[in-house]
């Protein structure tokens, strides 16, 4: 069994960066209203714990698009493994607006990769503006897929706390087609100290499903 405890690993597959960037620009141009911001999300997502921790604007500046890829055999959105995030059906039952998780937005290269790794869910296109901070947190029993689309060369920090020591993993992040997998069980912290927006694709998977994503090869 492969293990990534306390690490970030580079996965064996790559992405065609230009087509993934085109996908991102397509969202920017065609779906600006579907863009999630913290202020929109706080009302509708169960992020109470995060709200308590994220008290300043630097920690609440992340934004992006939330893509639902997993469906049942009937084509309906299926229940996600992470109970923090409600699938579309839950939004309907609860009478909440459906602005957030979109089943129509996983397109092109994202859709193709998602079909190859069906245990991966909670795909997001994630923007971290200049001076944004992701405060220290864990992602419970999940590993986190990270694909940098625009990653400023300077001013990026990404740290993991392993056995009480902070390790600097900043250099592993490059927008060159690489796909990374982060052990979400290890406390991590990140910031963007540049004057440019950082953009990446992020998705989650159960920690137990490491073999599936590590067996995928090729270019998407």
Task: Supply the minimum distance, in Å, between the C-beta of residue 203 and Fe ion.
Answer: 11
Contact 200, 151 (CB under 8 A): yes
Q: Which is nearer to Fe ion, 98 or 138 (CB)?
A: 138
Intra-chain end-to-end CA distance of the chain, in Å: 25
3-state secondary structure of 122: strand
Q: Which segment (69-77, 80-88, 131-139, 199-207) binds Fe ion by CB under 5 A?
A: 131-139
d(CA 45, CA 36): 11
Determine phi and psi for 132, rounding to 5 degrees: -70, 150
Task: Supply the minimum distance, in Å, between the C-beta of residue 117 and Fe ion.
Answer: 18
Q: Which is nearer to Fe ion, 71 or 207 (CB)?
A: 207
Task: Supply the minimum distance, in Å, between the C-beta of residue 25 and Fe ion.
Answer: 25
Contact 139, 184 (CB under 8 A): yes
From candidates 139, 146, 181, 213, binder to Fe ion by CB under 5 A: 139
d(CA 33, CA 100): 10
Number of residues in contact with Fe ion under rule CB under 5 A: 1
Q: Whose CB is nearest to Fe ion? A: 139
Q: Which is nearer to Fe ion, 109 or 184 (CB)?
A: 184
Q: Which is nearer to Fe ion, 127 or 139 (CB)?
A: 139
d(CA 147, CA 186): 19
- Determine, following the binding rule CB under 5 A, whether residue 142 of this chain makes contact with Fe ion: no
Report helix angle 108-116 to 17-30, nearest 10. Answer: 120
Q: Which is nearer to Fe ion, 111 or 157 (CB)?
A: 157
Task: Supply the minimum distance, in Å, between the C-beta of residue 108 and Fe ion.
Answer: 25
Task: Name the DSSP class of 95.
Answer: T
Structure tokens at 161: 């706390």
Q: Which of 173, 182, 179 is nearest to 207 (CA)?
A: 182
Task: Supply the minimum distance, in Å, between the C-beta of residue 80 and Fe ion.
Answer: 16
Task: Supply the minimum distance, in Å, between the C-beta of residue 72 and Fe ion.
Answer: 27
Residues at the interface with Fe ion (CB under 5 A):
139
């Amino acid at each position: 069994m492969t293990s990534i405890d306390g690490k970030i690993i580079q996965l064996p597959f790559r992405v065609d960066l230009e087509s993934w960037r085109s996908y991102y620009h397509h969202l920017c141009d065609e779906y600006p209203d579907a863009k999630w911001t913290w202020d929109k999300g706080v009302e509708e997502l169960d992020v109470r714990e995060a709200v308590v921790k994220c008290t300043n604007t630097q920690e609440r500046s992340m934004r992006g698009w939330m893509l639902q890829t997993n469906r049942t055999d009937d084509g309906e959105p299926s229940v996600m493994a992470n109970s923090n995030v409600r699938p579309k059906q839950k939004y309907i039952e609860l009478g909440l607006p459906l602005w957030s998780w979109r089943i129509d937005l996983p397109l092109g290269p994202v859709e193709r990769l998602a079909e190859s790794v069906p245990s991966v869910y909670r795909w997001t296109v994630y923007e971290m503006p200049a001076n944004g901070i992701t405060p220290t947190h864990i992602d419970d029993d999940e590993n986190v897929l990270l694909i940098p689309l625009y990653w400023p060369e300077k001013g990026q920090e990404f740290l993991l706390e392993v056995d009480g020591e902070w390790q600097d993993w900043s250099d592993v992040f490059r927008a060159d087609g690489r796909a990374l997998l982060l052990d979400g069980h290890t406390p991590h912290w990140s910031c963007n100290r540049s004057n440019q927006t950082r953009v990446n694709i992020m998705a989650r998977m159960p920690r137990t499903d490491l073999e599936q994503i590590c067996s995928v090869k090729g270019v998407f």
